[in-house]
Amino acid sequence: EPDEEAPAEEVAASEPEAPPAPPAEVRISPIAKRVAAKLGVDLTGVVGTGRNGRISKEDVEAAARAQGLLAEESDEPPAFEVIKLTGTQKTAAKRLQEAKQQIPHFYLDADVQTKRLAKVAKRADVSLNAALLKAMGMALEAVPEANVQFVDDTLHRYAKADVGMAVATDRGLVVPILRDVGGASLADIAAAAKDLAVRARDRKLVAADLEGGTCTVSNLGMFGVDRFQAIVNPPQTTILAVGRSVDRAVVDDDDVEVRPVVSVSLSCDHRAVDGALGARLLAAFRAAVESGLEGCE
């Protein structure tokens, strides 16, 4: 067994050697002296390039590199670029981190046929996305228990369906709100969506444009994304992630037909929308889409 108290000479031998102190006659700036002590630089033989031969911080660093105590400087450009977040990106990052940490998410997925909806959108001369927004508004009205916000351990249920629309800008993602989507016409929804998207990218949204809503539709289909899951934007309680439209073989009454299909995923805040309620909302959305909005144009 080792001795409880090692001899003094053995203790001294086990400690790392301190760098030699600079000779008394060496002239060195205070900051250079501190750097030399921190890096363990041996100043013996170091020639100062400062005023009257004084050793500078740069001289110490050069000596440290020569002694292998500091990495050599490289003329190579840095491997990455430091980019500061915009105010919008900082706000989004903070809110989404909090949302993911505090909201108990669960996800419901479905494949939805869009053949009839696409025809309705074409007749109304609007995008498929505008028609999908309309379908979500109709679904929220059909399932009013899901048309809610979660605020301070209470539910705020709304009579009208205000739906958020995720918009990518050069400053980050913003979610302006479309009002009364369930009761609005396709033409009005398309016009409002275009206006909000333009003002979002031109940095002309006002606070009122971003307030309210119970559900958001985030469509990445135009970027070639097949399916994804989104993070609920509080105090909203659901968000629908929409993938791209893909032609698939569909069996209908023993017949096989190729039809356009979109994969969607409904993210829910389990504190406000449980599994059964989320399933009802998704079913209502699918019914609205596959029925072609039941003739509402």
Q: Rounded to whole angstroms, how far apart are CA atoms 145 and 273? A: 8
Residues 289, 133: contact at Cβ < 8 Å?
A: no
Q: Rounded to whole angstroms, how far apart are CA atoms 12 and 14? A: 5
Q: Rounded to whole angstroms, how far apart are CA atoms 229 and 133? A: 17
Dig out the tokens for 272 from the structure. Answer: 């406000």
Dig out the tokens for 226 from the structure. Answer: 């097949």
Instruction: Determine whether 270 is an active site residue.
Output: yes
Catalytic residue (one of 65, 171, 270, 286): 270
Q: Rounded to whole angstroms, how far apart are CA atoms 232 and 164? A: 11
Q: Rounded to whole angstroms, how far apart are CA atoms 105 and 236? A: 12
- Active site positions, annotated: 270
